Amino acid sequence: MRHEHIISAKQLSRADIEEVLDHAAEIAADPEAYADRHAGKLLGLLFFEPSTRTKMSFTAAIKRLGGDIVDMGPVEYSSVKKGESLADTVRVVEGYADALVMRHPSEGSAQMASEFVDVPLLNGGDGAGQHPTQTLLDLYTIRENAGLDDLTIGIMGDLKYGRTVHSLAHALTNFDVHQHFISPESLQLPRSVRYDLHEEGATIREHTALEEVLSSLDVLYVTRIQEERFPDENEYREVAGEYQIDAGALEAASDDLTVMHPLPRVDEIDHDVDDTEYATFFEQAHNGVPVRMALLDLLLEGQ
Ligand code: NCD
pLDDT by residue for the chain (303 residues), tens digit each? 778 999 999 999 999 999 999 999 999 999 999 999 999 999 999 999 999 999 999 999 999 999 999 999 998 888 888 889 999 999 999 999 999 999 999 999 999 999 999 999 999 999 999 999 999 999 999 999 999 999 999 999 999 999 999 999 999 999 999 999 999 999 999 999 999 999 999 988 999 999 999 999 999 999 999 999 999 999 899 998 889 999 999 999 999 999 999 999 999 999 999 999 999 999 999 999 999 999 999 999 976
Task: Give the closest residue to 182 by CA, choosing from 151, 150, 217, 149.
Answer: 217
Out of 104, 131, 170, 292, pick the active-site residue. 131
Contact 99, 114 (CB under 8 A): no
Q: Is 103 among the residues known to form the active site?
A: yes
Q: Active site residue: 5, 23, 38, 54, which one? A: 54
Which atom of ligand 1 is nearest the CA belonging to 223?
Answer: 12
Best residue among 54, 56, 225, 261 to mutate for probing ligand 1's pocket (most ligand atoms within 8 Å of CB) is: 54
Ligand 1 atom with the shortest distance to the CA of 226: 12
* Residues 128 and 107: beta-carbon distance below 8 Å: yes
Which residues fall in the annotated binding site?
Answer: 53-54, 82, 103, 131, 134, 163, 224, 263-264
What are the structural domain ranges in the chain? 5-130+288-302, 133-285
Q: Which of 103, 143, 178, 261 is catalytic?
A: 103
DSSP 4: S
Strands 203-207 and 219-222 come out as unpaired
**Ligand 1 nearest-atom number relative to CA 224:** 12
Tell me, what's the pLDDT at 166? 98
Q: Which residues contact 270 (CB under 8 A, 6 or more apart)?
A: 244, 245, 246, 247
Q: Is the CB of residue 208 less than 8 Å from the CB of residue 187?
A: no
* 203-207 β-sheet, strand order: 203-207, 177-182, 151-156, 219-222, 258-260
Residues at CB less than 6 angstroms from ligand 1: 53-54, 125, 131, 134, 163-164, 224, 262-263
Return the pLDDT at 183. Answer: 97
Rounded to the nearest 10 degrees, the angle between the axes of helix 53-64 and helix 132-145 is: 80
Indicate the pTM of the whole model.
Answer: 0.97
What was the pLDDT predicted at 79? 85
* CA dist., res. 23 & res. 107, Å (int): 30
- Specify which residues 99 forms β-bridges with: 43
What is the whole-number distance in angstroms between the Cα of residue 264 and the centre of ligand 1? Answer: 7
Domain 5-130+288-302, CATH homologous superfamily name and number: Aspartate/ornithine carbamoyltransferase (3.40.50.1370)
Helix, strand, coil share (%) of the chain residues, nearest 5: 45, 15, 40
* 59, 164, 227, 229: residue to mutate for ligand 1 pocket, most atoms within 8 A of CB: 164
Output the pLDDT for position 192.
96
Q: What is the DSSP letter of 72?
A: -
Quick one: CA dihedral 131, 161, 261, 56, positive or negative? positive
Q: How far is CA 2 from CA 15, 19, 145, in A?
A: 11, 11, 28
Amino acid of residue 67 = G
Predicted local distance difference test score (pLDDT) of residue 200: 96
Cβ–Cβ under 8 Å, residues 225 and 184: no
Q: Do domains 5-130+288-302 and 133-285 have the same CATH topology?
A: yes
List 121's β-bridge partners, or say none. 100
Residue 14 falls in the annotated catalytic set? no
Please say whether the beta carbons of 98 and 43 come within 8 A: yes
Order across the sheet with 42-47: list the strands: 68-71, 42-47, 99-104, 121-126
Q: Does the annotation count 63 as an active-site position?
A: no
In this prediction, residue 270 carries a pLDDT of 98
d(Cα 289, Cα 293) in Å, to the nearest integer?
A: 6
CATH hierarchy code of domain 133-285: 3.40.50.1370
> Of 103, 47, 67, which Cα lies nearest the Cα of 299?
67
pLDDT at 294: 98
Report CA(74)–ligand 1 centroid distance (Å). Answer: 18
Q: Judging by DSSP bridges, how do beta strands 68-71 and 42-47 pair with one another? A: parallel
Helix locations, the chain, DSSP H: 14-29, 53-64, 86-93, 109-114, 132-145, 163-172, 191-199, 233-239, 281-286, 288-301
Q: How many CA atoms lie within 13 A of 30 on its CB side?
A: 7
Report how far residue 245's alpha carbon sits from residue 222's, in angstroms, rounded to the nearest whole number. 9
